């Protein structure tokens, strides 16, 4: 469970949110729906400790985590594709897996790839469709067996089939971790 208490964030003179209090339950997929500029991405970056709050606290499973704990337990999938375009899918997976404290095994990676209907790991990322890039971006977020998976607009700008594949995987994953995703539609 994530508990957010009296969280406030402002940029210069613009208040993004003020005294926000909410919680996210374990083994659930929670969708944050809102207009562009509503503060959804900011909130996700604060939960992932990429950005600091001006005031308030975030507790993870009843504890205040330090930066290392957050990095070890949160899989963060940004809206922008965070893959190396010049490398193959397999090279990206190998690289990002090497950064994980407790990475998933190759069998699990292959299961996720199968659930995402993706099989060309020898392809360079630069040659992939937008939907396939998003699929691999999400897979990278799962490499460290996160207790919390945060996805910022994971299906923006992709075809219906890719969106369906991603939703299928997330429905399976919600029994293994707390999932928060944003969308504006």
Q: What is the pLDDT of residue 181?
A: 94
Mean pLDDT by 10 residues, the chain (185 residues): 95 90 92 87 94 94 90 93 97 96 94 95 96 95 95 90 92 93 83
Please tell me whether residues 85 and 167 are part of one structural domain: yes
Please tell me whether residues 61 and 119 are part of one structural domain: no
Write out the DSSP string of 115-180.
Answer: HTT---TTSBGGGS-HHHHHHHHHHHHHTT--SEEEEESTTTT--HHHHHHHHHHHHHHTTTSEEE
Domain end marker among 65, 88, 105: 65
Residue 47 CA to residue 101 CA, distance in Å, equals 19
What secondary structure letter does DSSP report for 70?
H
User: Domain with 30 in it: what CATH number?
Assistant: 3.40.50.300
Q: What is the pLDDT of residue 185?
A: 65
Q: Considering Cα of 164, then 117, then 150, then 124, what sign does the dihedral take? A: negative
Please tell me whether residues 33 and 99 are part of one structural domain: no
Task: Give the total number of structural domains in the chain.
Answer: 2
Average pLDDT, the chain: 93
Q: What is the pLDDT of residue 38?
A: 83
- Note down the domain range covering 152: 80-177
Helix axes 160-173, 106-115, angle to 10 degrees: 140
Q: Break the chain down into helix, strand, coil percent, rounded to 5.
A: 35, 25, 40
Portion of the chain with pLDDT greater than 90, in percent: 81
């Amino acid at each position: 469970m994530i508990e957010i208490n009296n969280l406030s964030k402002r940029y210069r003179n613009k208040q993004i949110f003020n005294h926000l209090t909410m919680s996210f339950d374990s083994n659930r997929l929670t969708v944050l729906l809102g207009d562009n500029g509503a503060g959804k991405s900011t909130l996700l970056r604060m939960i992932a400790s990429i950005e600091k709050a001006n005031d308030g606290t975030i507790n993870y499973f009843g504890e205040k985590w330090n930066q290392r704990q957050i990095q070890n337990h949160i899989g963060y999938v940004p809206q922008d594709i965070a893959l190396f375009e010049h490398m193959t899918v397999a090279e990206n997976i190998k690289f990002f897996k090497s950064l994980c404290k407790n990475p998933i095994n190759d069998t699990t990676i292959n299961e996720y790839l199968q659930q995402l209907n993706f099989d060309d790991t020898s392809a360079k990322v630069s040659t992939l469709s937008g939907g396939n890039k998003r699929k691999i971006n999400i897979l990278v977020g799962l490499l460290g067996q996160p207790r919390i998976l945060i996805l910022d607009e994971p299906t923006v700008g992709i075809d219906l089939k890719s969106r369906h594949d991603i939703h299928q995987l997330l429905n399976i994953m919600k029994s293994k971790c707390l999932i928060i995703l944003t969308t504006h539609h």
